[in-house]
Amino acid sequence: MANIAAKRIKREFKEVMKSEEVAGGAIKLELLDNSWTELQGEIAGPPDTPYEGGTFLLEIKVPETYPFNPPKIRFMTKIWHPNVSSVTGAICLDILKDQWAAALTLRTVLLSIQALLSAAEPNDPQDAVVAKQYKENPTLFALTARHWTHAYAGGPAAIRDFDAKVQRLLDMGVDEHQARVALSTYDWELERATEQLFNREE
Amino acid sequence: MSAESDMEYSDNDGDDYDYYGEHDDCDMETVDRSKSDPEYFIYSCLKVEEVEKLLNESIELLSNSLQVTPSLAKVMLHAYEWNAQEIINKYKENANEVLVYSRVKPRVASLSQASTSRAVCAVCANTPPIHKYSALACGHYFCNDCWAMHFEVQITQGVSNTIQCMAQDCEVRAPEDFVISHVPKSTLRERYQQFMFKDHVKSHPQLRFCPGPNCQWIFRAWVREGARRVECRGCELITCFSCGAPHHAPTDCSTIRRWLTKCADDSETANYISAHTKDCPKCQICIEKNGGCNHMQCGACRFDFCWVCLGDWKAHGSEYYECSRYKEDPNLANDSQHAQAREALKKYLHYYERWENHARSLKLEEQTLASLKSRINQKVMAGEGTWIDWQYLWDAARLLKRCRYTLQYTYPFAYYMEVGPRKELFEYQQAQLEAEIENLSWKVERAETTHRGDLENQMDIAEKRRTTLLKDFLELNTNVASSSSKV
């Protein structure tokens, strides 16, 4: 079985390399080992989204039963999105689960993940906190997502107010990522975020 | 039936015997149960082979009348919940729609070029000769090795009826003959067929596996709503056909689910409060309950009391058996939230304690039943009559079990009932049932010293109380709810 997996991945790797998306810089694929089981994907944040300008790295693990079972993919780059866990990077996408078909390829999967960044599915959330904000406060969600893109994915747009609040917590000795998570979770209300951070440590 | 037939069995003498003998309706209860038993429910308990035969009849019927293969008939029956007649009718109107709905055919003709070609297999990227490709009705060709691998992975994951084509966004399902012809390993084919069978039973509205551990029997019935009592011929487990939970009349399926979840959540508190031992209310000696009867007699001071409320048993002998009734505090509305929360917990614990208590009594009475059987056997071996002579003891213990079981399941029902005259009526009947069950339990535990006629009389009373309650409150959705408010 393993040789089918390796053969397929080799072919798909070539397919991605030749594709117009790679030429256009929208997706990238890199091999991490010689056994064709671990790869690193890269997708560009789609234009007109809070992820624009950011570059997101994906961990791709190819199971032995590939392509009869889907590849295991998660975000390595931290991202604020309803269908991606802000903690583990796990992705909630049907084609990576029950809607997987053996005829799908890494290229189509990467493009689907990129499409997910343009059109979130808040009713099928991976991260309940993010999904709630997406539905109840879309403006704040977009700003938060943009801030995360700037902080973790090299996005261009800094949001000064948010940076200032993160800095306040850093001055109190809080870890930067923890500070960002707490503030994002509590709609950037410094007081509530602080309270949550310090209560948890007790 | 007179309510005065209490525990004073010593008063009965031989004269009553013949009179009571006529009321031996335990043997007759099989006669026209549909009228006398409110829980009466037509069902059968089938073996795997019988169910296979049943399913095959539907498959053959469909396959013959539509001129399709049995494998395709199975795919359609699975999609239409085994309603062969519906499929036949719809097929005559619009065959294509039936095939699309069953996912035998694709909704739109296949467009994807990559998969329809037979030059390179889109899955493995190999280039086998053209005759080593196959496709489902959708025309997505893949090489046979890939199909085999695909089926192996799916079957290993427990998928059977719903294995789909390997093409992207294609929902066409692989019929049995297609799968079987592509799977070379016989053990895998066997597993596939076992999963298919399980899946067929689960998708069939008239069938349900007995939920007993490792039990192979399958129930068949025609109604799947309301509390429906089914008893397994194999493991003797009594469950509800509609929901598969332990049988729960008079409580309905959704209520018992809520109650059991609640009990699971709150059990820590409740366990703490309902301990296994209690102190005698008179002499304070610690008493462990070792029988099912709630009429307790203190071994030290001979005080008769009720295990549930610790009150004097004499007060319970009267018509109104008070201790099953939970009294809501009328001043509740004025109280603070805290007090209301406490009141809610108190209310829950009241019902939970009684629920738990009867469950425990049932377990203990299970032991009584076992020891009774061996005692009867001993008597028969010693030549003191035949099994038929002692059968009534056995019947009494079984009837007691049935009555207490229903009584146990009246408590979740009462807990979720709204306060009002209907609840009052229910709790009145529940109290009556409880009183008679305790009388019966007391007599069964002392079966050999209790007069047969007296015992049979008590059996009759208890069973009548039980059926009366069920007749009035077991709402089987076939009639309009509250059909019993006329009482």
Residue A77: give its domain's CATH number: 3.10.110.10
Phi and psi at B287, nearest 5°, equal -120, 130
CB contacts under 8 A, B 386-445 vs A, are none
The domain of A19 spans 2-118
Tell me if B146 and A102 make a contact (CB, 8 A cut-off): yes
B165 close to A (CB below 8 A): yes
CA distance A127 to chain B (A): 26
Do A59 and A108 belong to one domain? Answer: yes
Chain B residue with the nearest C-alpha to that of A5: B124
Q: Which residue has the higher pLDDT, A155 or A75?
A: A75
DSSP label at residue B95: H
Query: Quick one: pLDDT band at residue B48, thresholds 50, 70, 90?
Result: very high
Who among A11, A102, A104 is closest to B150 (CB)?
Answer: A102
DSSP label at residue B319: S
B124 close to A (CB below 8 A): yes
B103 close to A (CB below 8 A): no
Within 8 A of B152 by CB-CB distance, chain A residues are: 68
Residue A85 domain flag: yes
* Active site (annotated) includes residue B293: yes
CA distance B168 to chain A (A): 5
Within 8 A of A65 by CB-CB distance, chain B residues are: 149, 153
Average pLDDT over residues B284-293: 64
Question: Which residue is associated with the tokens 């994002």?
Answer: A184
Residue of A5, A39, A92, A106 marked active site: A92
Do A47 and A93 belong to one domain? Answer: yes
In total, the C-beta contacts within 8 angstroms joining chain A to chain B are 48
B114 close to A (CB below 8 A): yes
Write down the pLDDT at residue B328: 55
Rounded CA separation B79/A145 (Å)? 43
Of the candidates A118, A140, A169, which is a domain's last residue? A118
Amino acid identity, position A93: L
Tell which residue, B470, B486, B485, B487, has the closest CA to residue B226. B470
Contact (Cβ atoms closer than 8 angstroms) between residue B366 and residue B373: no
Express each pLDDT in B410-425 by its tens digit: 999 999 988 889 999 9
Q: Residue B184, preceding bond cis, omega within 30 degrees?
A: no
CA distance A8 to chain B (A): 6
Average pLDDT over residues B222-226: 87
B176-183 LR contacts (CB < 8 Å, sep 24+): B176/B70, B176/B71, B176/B74, B176/B75, B177/B69, B177/B70, B177/B71, B178/B71, B178/B134, B178/B136, B179/B151, B182/B134, B182/B144, B182/B147, B182/B148, B182/B151, B183/B148, B183/B151, B183/B152, B183/B155
Amino acid identity, position B401: K
Q: Does domain B45-203 have CATH number 3.30.40.10?
A: yes
Write down the pLDDT at residue A127: 83
Query: Quick one: pLDDT band at residue A6, thresholds 50, 70, 90?
Result: confident
Chain A residue with the nearest C-alpha to that of B151: A68
* pLDDT for B1 beyond 50: no
* pLDDT for A25 beyond 80: no
Within 8 A of B170 by CB-CB distance, chain A residues are: 101
A65 close to B (CB below 8 A): yes
B146 close to A (CB below 8 A): yes
Write down the pLDDT at residue B36: 72
pLDDT > 70: percent of chain B: 77
Rounded CA separation B33/B12 (Å)? 31
The least confident of B60-64, B292-296, B365-369 is B292-296
Residue A65 domain flag: yes
Write down the pLDDT at residue B185: 92
Tell me if A101 and B166 make a contact (CB, 8 A cut-off): yes
The least confident of B36-50, B137-151, B311-325, B440-454 is B311-325
Write down the pLDDT at residue B322: 54
3-state secondary structure of B1: coil
Write down the pLDDT at residue B186: 93
Residue of B146, B280, B293, B403 marked active site: B293
Q: What residues pair up with A75 in beta bridges, in sequence order?
A: A58
Query: Quick one: pLDDT band at residue A31, thresholds 50, 70, 90?
Result: confident
Chain B residue with the nearest C-alpha to that of A105: B123
B109-114 LR contacts (CB < 8 Å, sep 24+): B109/B139, B110/B138, B110/B139, B110/B140, B110/B167, B110/B170, B112/A103, B112/B140, B112/B167, B112/B168, B114/A103
Tell me if A8 and B164 make a contact (CB, 8 A cut-off): no
Residue intervals of chain B classified under CATH 1.20.120.1750 are 9-41+247-473
Do A10 and A110 belong to one domain? Answer: yes
Chain A contact probe: residue of B126, B149, B159 with most A CBs at under 10 A: B149
Of the candidates A90, A118, A146, which is a domain's last residue? A118
3-state secondary structure of A29: strand
Query: Quick one: pLDDT band at residue B191, thresholds 50, 70, 90?
Result: very high
* pLDDT for A56 beyond 80: yes
Of the candidates A98, A118, A138, which is a domain's last residue? A118
Chain A contact probe: residue of B110, B127, B144, B168 with most A CBs at under 10 A: B168
* pLDDT for B21 beyond 50: no
CA distance B153 to chain A (A): 7
Express each pLDDT in B311-361 by its tens digit: 777 766 544 455 665 555 555 444 455 566 667 778 888 898 899 999 999
Express each pLDDT in A89-106 by its tens digit: 999 888 898 789 998 999
Who among B125, B140, B168 is closest to A104 (CB)?
Answer: B168
Do A147 and A97 belong to one domain? Answer: no
Rounded CA separation A149/A162 (Å)? 13
Tell me if B124 and A68 make a contact (CB, 8 A cut-off): no
Write down the pLDDT at residue B73: 94
Do A25 and A51 belong to one domain? Answer: yes
Q: Which residue has the higher pLDDT, B399 or B319?
A: B399
Average pLDDT over residues A50-68: 93
Rounded CA separation B248/B230 (Å)? 11
Rounded CA separation B309/B307 (Å)? 6
DSSP B375-418: HHHHHHHTTSS-HHHHHHHHHHHHHHHHHHHHHHHHHHHHHHSP
Do A113 and A132 belong to one domain? Answer: no
Within 8 A of A36 by CB-CB distance, chain B residues are: none
Rounded CA separation A8/A107 (Å)? 12
Average pLDDT over residues B369-392: 85
The total domain count for chain A is 2
Tell me if B124 and A101 make a contact (CB, 8 A cut-off): no
Average pLDDT over residues B185-213: 93
Q: Which residue has the higher pLDDT, B300 or B233?
A: B233
B153 close to A (CB below 8 A): yes
Who among A1, A4, A101 is closest to B167 (CB)?
Answer: A101
Do A133 and A168 belong to one domain? Answer: yes
CA atoms lying within 13 Å on the CB side of residue B115? 25
Query: Quick one: pLDDT band at residue B97, thresholds 50, 70, 90?
Result: very high
Architecture of the domain defined by B9-41+247-473: Up-down Bundle (1.20)
Residue A152 domain flag: yes
Q: What residues pair up with B219 in beta bridges, in sequence order?
A: B45, B208
Express each pLDDT in A111-133 by its tens digit: 999 999 999 887 777 888 898 89
Structure tokens at B32: 């026209």
Tell me if B164 and A101 make a contact (CB, 8 A cut-off): yes
Who among A65, A68, A103 is closest to B168 (CB)?
Answer: A103
A68 close to B (CB below 8 A): yes
Residue A123 domain flag: no
Write down the pLDDT at residue B341: 67
Do A103 and A12 belong to one domain? Answer: yes
Chain A contact probe: residue of B150, B182, B188 with most A CBs at under 10 A: B150
Residue A24 domain flag: yes
The least confident of B33-42, B127-136, B376-385 is B33-42
Do A72 and A90 belong to one domain? Answer: yes
Residue intervals of chain B classified under CATH 3.30.40.10 are 45-203
